[in-house]
Chains A and B, each alone.
Chain A
């Protein structure tokens, strides 16, 4: 007689404690952070920056439903953000008119729901033809559709308001939770609430059967067909949800900025959301959140320091695509894993050559970019870090540009040949 009970496979399902730590705890921490921020009584600029961050978090997460979870590269995601925003904007105007009926009892606080609905509707209409293809054709269709909708945005002035866009006033209609929506602190609560709702529901979506099937369709559409599902229909449903959450972000933006222009439908914001999601890291759920925070801060703060911030953004993006396809969050995760495995000292010894080398190369490049942007502006302004006067004509500048870059490249080269020598 053999004891069958001992041959039973080990139960691999996560325990209740693990589930709580992986699924509930991060959301609780998010609530805590959102609740703590107003206690530091942020300034007006900080409040408007936080609002932009919140909107971008929801927008970038919705984009990642397509790119990261569904494997669908879209170049026109801003279309759904914009259409949702326009829907919310028109609703806001209807509330402002206050002619009774449905809109008379609709609070401004709930406008992201209108945005959600409009985004979902747009996703359902546009997604039906475009989700039949995946990969590069899908990317191309999204590009074509985005160009068409953006052009139409400038043509139909009664809906999109032409070049100036349409404006509204958020201090109307019934008040929910006693918020007049006037002061920035009220808007903060509004943005924080919807950022949390968006993040939590998009996370919940990844746990649904549809969310799991969307990942399966990304990895192997053929096998999804074998288990009896249609990849086209799964893509279509994911597309609708992604459009809906983008529309929700649009509704948040409509209330926050009280203006929407056809520019918000165009290729530029679509490209920006792609950068946010990818730089943050599309393989991890929190990746787009990291990307949205970093890029929004870059957009508003780095642009004060340097005119070439878009160039830095482009360089960052290229570096991420080339060397760290898992994005910033991937870098954070791998640092964490290395520290756990080898301890802090081991982790530092792994990067003791690469890190200073990269810093050196970055310094040289920075000086090159800063001196040349000032030169190209033609105002005779000179880049003066630490009291040094670095004009493009002086040999000191070129020494400071070439020196660090050459030293950095040499260090990297040496590290590489050493590693090869170790292997041989």
Chain B
């Protein structure tokens, strides 16, 4: 019961972080057809910017300014990089972001070093919130939960209840029509790209000190975020939300299961000491999202809630 409850809470938090990362990517992907390989690099930049901010000022300023800076950087990348490459087609755009991820990785290593930086949880939030079955639950995790839910609500309101959201939604499916109505579609793209990068950076700011802030964090998160977008379905924020939670919970629960193939498939003659039998469920946890990715693309190309094929 104890493990179950903690896994549930941690899984939800991990899932919400994933959603924060992938919501921007879903918007960008469904609007421009660009699967942004560098998206997780913007998440990493958010974490590192926040670390630098906390060295000089406070965490609370970092929470506002790090995403803003990364968002501006993202918009600049779209304006002077992607827009130029766009003429050469989607593969060129994908490759551009692939190279950008490479570049950001290397620059981060030069500026902040190759090792993990000591990006700490702010002192004001570094206390146990409550006790469950004798184990303490840190307040910072609840803070992540609150920020993520607040962001979710704000995003939902912006997209579904405002005029800006209406135009963005229209550009998702009918960019030409929106252009004919007199809106500057390239500028909308730039803004959405910047906002998506800012959301990723926000995930970096609040997730960087919860997980670890190191140069490999982008390479670790990047593929998982793709999985969320594809499994959730193209153009569907709701789908991305459920896919994030699903993957978050799946991975967290898988880690806490210590049973091996030998224990589970013993009836089928798999011996626990054999190579296959000694594989534990927890060691499979990092593979699960990719298994899901391949299965979804083959069986249900629309994703969970997507309206069109990837």
Contacts and interface: CB of A to CB of B under 8 A. Distances in A.
Contact of B96 (A139, A145, A155, A318): A318
B310 A136 contact: yes
Contact of A321 (B96, B223, B294): B96
B111 A145 contact: no
Interface in A18-39: none
A136 B90 contact: yes
A318 B286 CA distance: 30
B180 interface: no
B91 interface: yes
A145 B103 CA distance: 25
A257 to B, nearest CB: 25
A313 interface: yes
Contacts of B112: 376
A373 interface: yes
Interface string A313-348: 111011001100100000000000000000000000
Contacts of B272: none
A147 B223 contact: yes
Contacts of B88: 321, 325
Interface stretch (A48-56, A127-135, A196-204, A223-231): A127-135
A156 interface: yes
B88 to A, nearest CB: 5
A271 B94 CA distance: 13
Contacts of A139: 35, 94
B92 A318 contact: no
Interface string A133-164: 10111011101110110011001111000000
B90 A135 contact: yes
Contacts of B190: none
A310 interface: yes
Contacts of A321: 85, 88, 92, 95-96, 99
Interface residues of B, number: 43
Contacts of B279: 155
B179 interface: no
15 contacts: A73-B94, A135-B91, A136-B33, A137-B310, A144-B291, A144-B293, A147-B287, A155-B279, A156-B275, A271-B98, A308-B106, A314-B103, A322-B84, A325-B92, A372-B110
Given A318-B96, A321-B96, A140 B310 contact: yes
Nearest to B294: A144
A317 B102 contact: yes
A155 B298 CA distance: 25
A73 B33 CA distance: 15
A278 interface: yes
Contacts of A132: 298
Interface residues of A, number: 43
A196 B180 CA distance: 56
Interface string B274-304: 0100010001001100110110011001000
B111 A274 contact: no
Interface of A: 71, 73, 129-130, 132-133, 135-137, 139-141, 143-145, 147-148, 151-152, 155-158, 267, 271, 274, 278, 308, 310-311, 313-315, 317-318, 321-322, 325, 369, 372-373, 376, 378
Nearest to B34: A136
Nearest to B29: A136
Given A147-B290, A155-B283, A158-B275, A136 B103 contact: no
B110 A322 contact: no
Contacts of A278: 95
Q: Which of B226, B283, B290 has the most C-beta atoms of chain A within 10 angstroms of its own C-beta?
A: B290
Contacts of B297: 133, 137, 140-141, 144
A314 B94 contact: no
Contact of A313 (B102, B107, B301, B310): B102
B275 A318 contact: no
B206 interface: no
A132 B226 CA distance: 20
A141 B111 contact: no
Contacts of B287: 147-148, 151-152
Contacts of B286: 151
Given A143-B226, A322-B85, 12 more contacts: A136-B94, A136-B310, A140-B226, A140-B230, A143-B290, A144-B294, A278-B95, A314-B99, A314-B103, A318-B81, A322-B84, A376-B113
A284 B44 CA distance: 37
Contact of B103 (A141, A267, A315, A372): A315
Nearest to B293: A144
B100 interface: yes
Contacts of B31: none
Given A73-B94, A321-B95, A148 B110 contact: no
B96 A322 contact: yes
Contacts of A156: 275
B250 interface: no
B22 to A, nearest CB: 14
A135 B291 CA distance: 20
A372 B293 CA distance: 40
Given A132-B298, A137-B297, A143-B223, A311 B110 contact: yes
B63 interface: no
A148 B92 contact: no
A318 B104 CA distance: 12
B92 A133 contact: no
B102 A314 contact: yes
B298 A129 contact: yes
A130 B109 CA distance: 35
Nearest to B224: A147
Nearest to B111: A376
B227 interface: yes
Q: Which of B95, B283, B291 has the most C-beta atoms of chain A within 10 angstroms of its own C-beta?
A: B95
Nearest to A372: B110
B291 to A, nearest CB: 6
Given A314-B99, A314-B103, A141 B298 contact: yes
B301 A137 contact: yes
B94 A145 contact: no
Interface string B167-205: 000000000000000000000000000000000000000
